[in-house]
Amino acid sequence: MKKISIVFLFVFCFVLESLAQLSVGGYGEAVMTRNFYSDSWQRYIKPEDYASDESHGRFDLPHFVVNLGYDFGQGWTMSSEIEFEHGGTESAVEMEADEAGEYESEIERGGEVALEQFWIQKSWNKALNLRMGHIIVPVGLTNQYHLPVEFFTNYRQEGESTIFPCTWHETGLSLWGHLGRWRYEWQFLAGLDSDRFGSANFIAGGAGSPYEFKIANNYATAMRHDFYLPMGLRLGLSGYYGHSFDNSLRKNKKYQDCKGEVMIGAFDFHYDAHHLVVRGNVDYAHLNDSYEITQFNKSMSSDSPSPHQNVASDALSASIQAGYDVFAHVPAMKKDNKKLYVFAHYEFYDSMFKTVKADMDYPQYARHRMAAGINYYPMNEIVVKAEYSKRFLVEPFIDEPSVSLGIAYCGFFTRK
């Protein structure tokens, strides 16, 4: 009996020590929306016929993410994120407005569950860390700050989420670190796949893979630099460069000189002081050989993963949002660390900002969006969001107002 007790105590201590190195967390969002515009797939083809359509409502689970991490010791750590988008498993049926209202099965990546992150990291010190595996590409504001407690609107800002992969994750290497008030990150990645570029979403579809493997005939680099100033201000610069055309299974000697270089430059900032939070970004992206990519994609078979659409040469996204914590002036609420931000948001984005030929452009993709609402934090890990928003489209297209109510959490259930 004494030996059994000693063995049990040893096992119990081993389990406790192992659990001390384990971290479990994640985040999740639920949103209810009422859209006061038509949900017909033809509303961008014959907008005058749908100006008086009734409103429609939707419930959504934008993201549910489970994070598992482990500290092996001696500077070696592991982290992973398993993500469910919109309550599904990354396959869905959509009605395509650009394809005469046909039902189309969308597969964003091979497999049934999205593995958003999986990496192993070696840390030598605060200034030098090497991350290897499936990692977030930190280009733009949203890809770096995508948690629901890091933005005021119910959904991540539309501009970056439309024209870039969001949250953008690729397999590769990342070298990063902190040097005083400066944080740097440099990445080596597989390139995007131009087969899946399109009109409404520019290069967003080119990340990941519809196959059981990621084609990497061409490579890419990404970088991010953040500067933390003492008055609560962070300034960020990020960028991306890589070839995209030859990262598919289909080859064609006619296009052997086509490279499809993707170039992105982005600036963003974040200010948090005196109960005021302000965030903003400007992103510009250029795609070489966009006409050749358009012609190639439209020539692909109907059962290919390509959307077979016109692709722009340039895309633009810019936004700013500001929120003020009114509970900072209510002593009882401030004492309990409760917050109530009243916020306003504006953004402009155009997935077809420039095209090599005028007849390739679709003006409905140039959009202004304004939103206003509140964010209530009963505690730092939970937020309740309410907002009114409106997309402003060029004539003759109909503006798109909506009201949304959502709740989200973000945090760790265990800590290392």
Q: Which two tokens stand for residue 11?
A: 């096992």
Residue 262 has pLDDT above 50, yes or no: yes
What is the distance between the alpha carbons of residues 111 and 209, in angstroms, rounded to a whole number?
Answer: 10
**DSSP-assigned beta bridge partners for residue 371:** 345, 389
CATH number for 26-414: choose from 2.60.40.1250, 2.40.160.10, 2.40.30.170, 3.30.420.40.
Answer: 2.40.160.10
User: 254 or 196, which is more confident?
Assistant: 196
Confidence of residue 15 (pLDDT cuts 50, 70, 90): very low
Confidence of residue 100 (pLDDT cuts 50, 70, 90): low
Confidence of residue 416 (pLDDT cuts 50, 70, 90): low
Q: Which of 345, 335, 349 has the alpha carbon at shortest distance from 161?
A: 349
What is the distance between the alpha carbons of residues 83 and 192, in angstroms, rounded to a whole number?
Answer: 21
CB of 365 closer than 8 Å to CB of 199 = yes
Mean pLDDT of 68-82: 94
Q: What is the pLDDT of residue 110?
A: 45
What is the distance between the alpha carbons of residues 82 and 70, in angstroms, rounded to a whole number?
Answer: 15
Q: What is the pLDDT of residue 116?
A: 87
List the single range of 276-290, 296-310, 352-366 with lowest mean pLDDT. Answer: 296-310
Confidence of residue 104 (pLDDT cuts 50, 70, 90): low
Q: What is the pLDDT of residue 209?
A: 78
What is the distance between the alpha carbons of residues 81 and 147, in angstroms, rounded to a whole number?
Answer: 13
Residues present in the chain in total: 416
Q: What is the pLDDT of residue 257?
A: 85
Residue 98 has pLDDT above 80, yes or no: no
Residue 111 has pLDDT above 50, yes or no: no
Q: What is the pLDDT of residue 255?
A: 81
CB of 288 closer than 8 Å to CB of 260 = yes
Averaging pLDDT over each range in 10-24, 44-58, 97-111, 232-246, which range is the top one?
232-246
CB of 127 closer than 8 Å to CB of 107 = no
pLDDT cut 70: percent of the chain above it: 88
pLDDT cut 90: percent of the chain above it: 66
What ranges do the domains of the chain cover? 26-414
